[in-house]
Structure 1
């Protein structure tokens, strides 16, 4: 069964970027510490990253995040989806206006201008088709940013919340979740390494 998984790194004080994120400073001041685990040699970190990439039948992201990953200082051979792990799922970008061209032409981009729910629905269809073709279940991964994941939680679109809790306090930045309705979660797994605590919750 295809699930909708929100997957994001977060600081101990609840931020998914540091202060003043922007086109030339995508993770904000100090925000690079959030993703140290993704480039770690720790076998548990590598396993978490590998399993997350392997389960991705389709990926949803917001326009601001797309502008960063497709920008001149964005993804490359060493820093693409999965930080070098094998896997190139279809990507769905929630945006008010599609682009006529992209830098990362080797990836499958779809721009959805009719809202997050439609993007998730289209991504689910693609993930289900990929599941049928591969013979095993693949999921839709919401990779961010924080506003996109918060909106998906508010809309009841998320089945699983996967957090990578980095041992850093940023003090300010982009919060993961601010003004939504209370949500009940069921903790399913915890994996601790020196660079992060990987937490998985079912969203009830």
Structure 2
């Protein structure tokens, strides 16, 4: 069964990016430390990254994150979705308006201007079609940014929350949750690796 999974790296003090985020500083000051696990040679971290990439039948991101990954310092043929485990699922971008042009035109982009719920609906249809074609379940993955993931959890749109908790205190930046809605999380899995603690929750 296709699930909606929010998957994001976060600091111990709750930030998903450092201060001063920009097109040439996509993770903000110090924010790349959050993703050290995704670029390491640790075999457990490589396995987790590969598993996350393999399960991604469709991926959702917000417009700010899209502008970063499609920007001049963004994704390349070597480093794209899934860090060095470059994946090419269809991507759905939640935005007020589509961009005039796309640098990464070889990827499958859909720009959804009618809101997050509609983007999740379209991504679910796409992921379910992939599941039917390949005979295995794949999921809809919300990769960020923080506002999009936080809004999706608050709105009850997420089935599973995966946090890669990095041993970093950023002090300020983009928080994962602003004014969170009370929700019960059921812990399903905890994996400790050299660069992060990986937490998986069912969201009730």
Task: Name 1:138's counterpart in structure 2.
Answer: 138
8 Å CA contact retained: 2:79, 2:86: no
> Per the alignment, in what secondary structure is the counterpart of residue 92 of structure 2?
strand
Task: Name 1:172's counterpart in structure 2.
Answer: 172
Residues 37-48 of structure 1 aligned to structure 2 (within 5 Å): 37-48=37-48
CA distance in 1, matches of 2:181, 2:105: 38
CA distance in 2, matches of 1:101, 1:172: 32
> Per the alignment, in what secondary structure is the counterpart of residue 200 of structure 2?
strand
8 Å CA contact retained: 1:4, 1:159: yes
> Per the alignment, in what secondary structure is the counterpart of residue 162 of structure 1?
strand
CA distance in 2, matches of 1:34, 1:95: 25
CA distance in 2, matches of 1:99, 1:32: 26
Structure 2 portions without partners, runs of 5+: none
Task: Name 2:15's counterpart in structure 1.
Answer: 15
CA distance in 1, matches of 2:189, 2:40: 20
> Per the alignment, in what secondary structure is the counterpart of residue 16 of structure 1?
strand
Task: Name 1:155's counterpart in structure 2.
Answer: 155
- Once the two structures are superposed, residues 86-111 of structure 1 have per-residue CA deviations (whole angstroms, 9 ceiling, x without a partner) of 53100000000012321111110000
1:195 aligns with 2:195: yes
CA distance in 2, matches of 1:87, 1:14: 27
* Segment drifting more, 163-172 vs 22-31: 22-31
> Per the alignment, in what secondary structure is the counterpart of residue 15 of structure 2?
coil
> Per the alignment, in what secondary structure is the counterpart of residue 60 of structure 1?
strand
* Segment drifting more, 163-172 vs 95-104: 95-104
CA distance in 2, matches of 1:129, 1:202: 24
8 Å CA contact retained: 1:185, 1:203: yes
Task: Name 1:92's counterpart in structure 2.
Answer: 92
Task: Name 1:111's counterpart in structure 2.
Answer: 111
CA distance in 1, matches of 2:110, 2:100: 11
Task: Name 2:32's counterpart in structure 1.
Answer: 32
- Once the two structures are superposed, residues 140-164 of structure 1 have per-residue CA deviations (whole angstroms, 9 ceiling, x without a partner) of 0000000000110111100000000
CA distance in 1, matches of 2:153, 2:57: 20
Give the aligned CA root-mean-square deviation in angstroms.
0.8
Deviation for aligned residue 1:84: 2.4
Q: So what's the TM-score if we normalise by structure 2? A: 0.98
CA distance in 2, matches of 1:149, 1:15: 12
Task: Name 2:82's counterpart in structure 1.
Answer: 82
8 Å CA contact retained: 2:80, 2:86: no
